[in-house]
């Protein structure tokens, strides 16, 4: 995912603004501090904090590990084949009916890739243009699915929320909101990245699903916290999307007696709710 850039009074507030824009928890993002506010007279600060952030890339298993696993699997298949053939001996250390392996041709070494240049940031894009592009895109998606819904743009303080309202729109939400999250990413690409918008916070909602989901997650998180405090034992929740994990972390941040952390890798990353020692 591309980097987003935010500014605020402090580094922490700028990071929180970036997390809101990305829709992920702090553990799933990485940051670069571009500019820090400078101390001024009488304890005041001059300037603003400016940070860049993006969703932390998923770790890819090294090629050597994958190659070793394939080799182990091949040896296991050879042993199984030998057992099925009654343990027949091989002639001259070679499998019957098999010839010598031809040496692999040497791979041509490629020159190292040059670092990709950062796209220059131009003049700020009018949020109205971004919102209109998002509305047009979602109207097309809704029609392509054969659904009937009204697409409206709600503008806030530096925020854009495009709502698709109507009946029988569950196909655009999907299990646990996964389709909605994918639709939001596509809309951001179409409406923001192509237009060069780096500042607006664009969110998508379908039939009020997000608010209902947030309320349900808050109630669930508070119930889990109560159980953990009463039993004194940690509780591991089922894997959640990063946006849902953020709601749980935020809901329990101010609850006495419990703390939360994440473990594992996406898409199986989980939240652990633990009791706090007295």
Q: Note the pLDDT tens digit of each residue in 218-247.
A: 999 999 999 999 999 999 999 988 888 999
Q: Are 270 and 245 in contact (CB under 8 A)?
A: no
- Evaluate the omega torsion of the peptide bond into residue 267 and state whether it is cis, within 30 degrees of 0: yes
Q: Is 268 part of a structural domain of the chain?
A: yes
CA atoms within 13 A on the CB side of 131: 17
Q: Is 75 part of a structural domain of the chain?
A: no
Distance, in Å, from the CA atom of 136 to the CA atom of 51, rounded to the nearest integer, reads 31
In terms of average pLDDT, the best of 20-29, 91-100, 108-117, 262-271 is 262-271
Distance, in Å, from the CA atom of 130 to the CA atom of 191, rounded to the nearest integer, reads 5
Residue 191: other Cβ atoms inside 10 A: 26
- Smallest CA-to-CA distance from 26 within 215, 273, 260, 276 is with 260
Environment class of 146 (CB within 10 Å of its CB; exposed 0-12, middle 13-18, buried 19+): exposed
pLDDT tens, residue by residue, 158-187? 789 999 999 999 999 988 788 998 999 999
In eight-state DSSP terms, residue 207 is T
Q: Are 130 and 192 in contact (CB under 8 A)?
A: yes
Least confident of 71-75, 112-116, 221-225: 112-116
Domain that holds residue 216: 212-275
Distance, in Å, from the CA atom of 112 to the CA atom of 108, rounded to the nearest integer, reads 12
The pLDDT assigned to 82 comes to 52
In eight-state DSSP terms, residue 270 is E
The pLDDT assigned to 192 comes to 85
Q: Is 103 part of a structural domain of the chain?
A: no
Q: At what angle do helices 178-188 and 127-144 cross, to 10 degrees?
A: 130
Same domain flag for 146 and 164: yes
Number of domains in the chain: 3
Q: Is 175 part of a structural domain of the chain?
A: yes
The pLDDT assigned to 218 comes to 94
Return the higher-pLDDT residue of 194 and 107: 194
The pLDDT assigned to 106 comes to 57
Q: Are 223 and 235 in contact (CB under 8 A)?
A: no
Q: What is the CATH number of the domain that holds 167?
A: 3.30.300.20
Same domain flag for 189 and 219: no
């Amino acid at each position: 995912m591309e980097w987003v850039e935010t500014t605020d009074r402090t580094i922490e507030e700028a990071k929180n603004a970036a997390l809101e824009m990305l829709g992920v928890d702090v553990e799933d993002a990485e940051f670069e501090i571009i500019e820090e506010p400078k101390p001024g007279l009488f304890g005041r600060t001059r300037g603003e904090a400016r940070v860049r952030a993006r969703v932390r890339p998923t770790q890819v298993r090294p090629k050597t590990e994958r190659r070793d696993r394939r080799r182990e699997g091949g040896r296991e298949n050879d042993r199984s084949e030998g057992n099925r053939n009654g343990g027949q001996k091989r002639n001259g250390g070679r499998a019957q009916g098999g010839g010598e392996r031809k040496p692999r041709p040497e791979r041509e070494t490629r020159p190292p890739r040059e670092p990709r240049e950062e796209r220059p940031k131009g003049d700020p894009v009018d949020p109205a243009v971004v919102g209109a592009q998002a509305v047009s895109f979602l109207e097309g998606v809704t029609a392509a699915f054969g659904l009937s819904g009204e697409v409206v743009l709600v503008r806030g303080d530096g925020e854009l929320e495009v709502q698709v309202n109507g009946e029988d729109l569950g196909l655009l939400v999907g299990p646990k909101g996964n389709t909605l999250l994918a639709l939001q990413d596509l809309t951001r690409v179409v409406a923001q990245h192509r237009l060069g918008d780096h500042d607006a916070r664009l969110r998508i909602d379908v039939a009020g699903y997000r608010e209902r989901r947030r309320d349900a997650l808050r109630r669930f998180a508070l119930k889990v916290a109560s159980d953990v405090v009463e039993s004194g034992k940690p509780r591991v929740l089922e894997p959640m999307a990063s946006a849902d994990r953020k709601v749980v972390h935020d809901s329990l941040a101010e609850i006495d007696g419990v703390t939360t952390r994440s473990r594992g890798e996406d898409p199986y990353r989980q939240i652990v709710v633990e009791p706090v020692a007295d």
